[in-house]
Chain A
Amino acid sequence: MKLLTHNMLTSHVKGVTKGYPLLIKATEVKVNEVEFNPQFVSRMIPKLEWSALVQAAEEDLPGELVADYETNEEFLKKVHRILLEVEVLEGCLQCPESGREFPISRGIPNMLLNEDEA
């Protein structure tokens, strides 16, 4: 699971209102090499929940977006790495409100709910 995907995922346990963002508890993380496409990255940024990304990334990201980030190649490279190159292979995602853990196995988050949680 890449952090880009994590940025989109939310807890959907019944009754939970503040299920986003999910807390990442990673036991195995991999960093891949992904071709850097600055245009693609700068198009992604406005689609993201920036504060959730800052929280998820262990590296320092500015709390707020820098102005003119589209032309800031160093910034874009950092974002590229965090969003597309870091991958959580094993671990779980935890609902911030209910504490429910969704396992991540072989890079795949299993978001299935039980009968009583749906």
Chain B
Amino acid sequence: MDPTEERNVKAFKRSKEEKKVIRKQIKASHTLLKHEGISTTPHPTESVVVANGGLGNGVSREELLSVLTEAEEVESLFMPPHKPYAFVTYRSVESARRALTQLNGQKLQSEENSITLYLSYVNSVTFEEEKSVPLPEGLVLVEEFVSPDEEAVLLAAIDWLSSNEDVTAQKSLKHRRVKHYGFEFRYDNNNVDKDKPLRAGLPDECLPVLERCVKSGLISIMPDQLTVNQYESGQGIPPHVDTHSAFEETIISLSLGAKTVMEFRHPDGRLVPVVLPGRSLLVMRGESRYLWTHGITPRKFDMVPACSPHSPASDLGTNRNLTLSKRGTRTSFTFRKIRHEPCCCAFPSTCDSQGAASAFSPSPSSPPSLPCCHADATRLEEEYVHRVYNAIASHFSSTRHSPWPSVCHFLSLLPAGSVLADVGCGNGKYLGVNPELITVGCDRSNALVQICVERGFQAFVSDALSVPLRTASCDACISIAVIHHFSTPERRLAAVRELTRILRPKGQALIYVWAFEQEYNKQRSKYLKEQIKEHRQNLSPINNTSDDLQEPHGKSQIHTSEHLEDKCRAVDSMQHISKGTNSKLSVHTNRTAFNTQDLLVPWHLKEGKKQGEEDSGENTKKDKKTSGNSCSPCRMSSKTRIDCNPGSSPSMSCGSDLDTSDATHGPHFKSMPSHDTTKTSNTILKAKPENGQVPVFHRYYHVFQQGELEQLCGQVAGVRVCRSYHDQGNWCVILEKD
């Protein structure tokens, strides 16, 4: 090729490249307008938007600045949090012009990704200037509290290997490592054994630091308890308030190693993120110690202010100058003084000495009663349904893997291509039963919805009282074991109304609720039957090993009341179960008959990775025992995702609510006789809580009497009950919309 030709070919290639870049730049500005409301302009201005150069797509401030400054000097750079773009302002229009020409289509290497930047002019840069958020009352952060040498000495002072197998278990569970000195902090009751000091007192290496604290007036008494926490990237600790009765007011925490972001949450919902740089000391007093929870979200990257001499490290309140900070290993030394008298602070809602029960967050100090108004009902359900399901999601899901045959049957009869909504879908058990359907699930629990999505189903978070689906958009819907969690008849009615609203004319809904009558037609439900078996085995207090037992395996007894007289009789004979005025909700004893309709049912949380396998072992045994046709209606095709080996179910979510391994800060704990733990002894790497103590959660239920569900549905206009039956301890109806 002669030189002229070569030049021409090069020019041709170049213009083709240029055209491609321009095309993509136009597309990018299109997207910015459509999705972000950002208008770009073809006329040069001083302000430029950089598409793909944002915190939202993993580009840090430093990375972007280094590319930008290769071209023109930048007057200001604004990177809105979570967005895939940034705004750059130049000194002059000419400067911006030059920058655009040079940088448009430029590639940027961020981590392992190659990102292409597209620049366009914008008329104005708008960003919300948020006010700087003040730190929680009583919180003080002192930076550079120890020198790098002192930091090294302190880190070396911790002998992780000399610890018991707890530390090895923690590491293998990808859990933060914990070690105590002075007194042991117990995670089963969130308190300290004050009568049994540990052999190892605080390490001598800590003395200079503590003396410095006393000298600077940060503390007045020498601490006598130390907890060392080591967090790898991706590890955290759920939000909690340090137990009031265990420790005196002032708590100091020294951060060594990598910086992290600690989040403080006020009961009213305010969230204040605080950057804790390495070698800084955090002092918690007053509200920050007694009222706000603090926690570290398990993450690999935090959004932090870009280092500048003007912005203090703790200033995450404004949106200016943010960047991404990759987490590294952080070790915290938390020093506390053991409290020997009850706490008498000014924050009784979070104070265990003054009656507060839950360590999660402020909760009513007295046992709950049946709500008399909508607001009370919402609060009750929040505490005794929603929070519980979010906390137990993983364990709960592992016990909910066998779809009930009658529900499967209902789903199998739906024509192919039907739109099905599963309201209160839980872990998505029914979402894949009939793959011919267009299914969407919704649940109030984010944690459970996450499990659905991890399994490949479509689900969203919403309340059953207000389902964000269009009226008459579904061919069918199911609501299995949901409505019994609503604490007033009005709310239960509203839930049924929502189900009928989303149905198209002639569409059908299937509703299952827990029955007050666990024995029906002289047949005890499995829920009750297990009690007798356990009683013989253990002669110990009843507790649920797997609530799955309330579900039928094999043949289920379905008694339909098809005769009209039967129906009427059922309604008339509804017993008057004493309620009493302002009745306190009692806690039910699992595996016994119900003696009241409104109650709290305990859930004993089991922890550890191998949880699912243990349950499936039990289950397959049962499957073999019962008739062979147990799940045949459920196996619609080989594509069904319901498998009986929950060991393959997703690992515990890393959301801070779900840190249910040994170091969790959970609510009330009950002791179990030691031989009950033999059922869990075949799990290898389980983080066993001390002394076999296990967290207990209480879920609110309103169990339905015979005929009650039908009567409820009868109050809804435009829908009729076409079938009603009892299925293994549940009352069930099939409704059809007119």
Contact = CB atoms under 8 A, between A and B. Distances in A.
The A contact surface, by secondary structure, is: mixed
Contact of A110 (B84, B378, B461, B473): B461
Contacts of B442: 111
User: Among A1, A2, A5, A91, which residue has the most Cβ atoms of chain B within 10 A?
Assistant: A5
Contact of B468 (A9, A39, A115): A9
A1 B468 contact: no
A9 B458 CA distance: 12
A108 B446 contact: yes
A108 B35 contact: no
Nearest to B435: A40
B467 A108 contact: no
Interface in B442-461: 442, 444, 446, 449-450, 453, 458-461
Interface string B32-67: 000110000000000000000000110000000000
Given A5-B458, A27-B82, A10 B463 contact: no
Contact of B56 (A9, A12, A27, A109): A27
A100 B559 CA distance: 47
A47 B474 CA distance: 9
Interface in B632-663: none
Given A8-B440, A26-B35, A107 B468 contact: no
A20 B453 contact: no
Contacts, number: 83
B419 A108 contact: no
Main secondary structure of the interface of B (DSSP, over half): mixed
Contacts of A47: 417, 419, 438, 475
A112 interface: yes
B466 interface: yes
Contacts of B466: 12, 113, 118
Given A4-B438, A12-B466, A108-B449, A44 B417 contact: yes
Contact of B417 (A4, A43, A108): A43
A87 to B, nearest CB: 9
Interface in A90-114: 90-91, 102, 106-113
B83 interface: yes
Contacts of A110: 446, 460-462
Interface in B366-396: 378
A108 B461 contact: yes
Contacts of B470: 8, 10, 20
Nearest to A43: B417
Contact of A27 (B84, B450, B461, B462): B84
B436 interface: yes
Contacts of B436: 40
A24 interface: yes
A25 interface: yes
The 6 closest A-B pairs by CB, nearest first: A43-B417, A111-B462, A109-B460, A111-B468, A110-B461, A12-B468
5 contacts: A4-B438, A24-B35, A43-B416, A109-B461, A111-B442
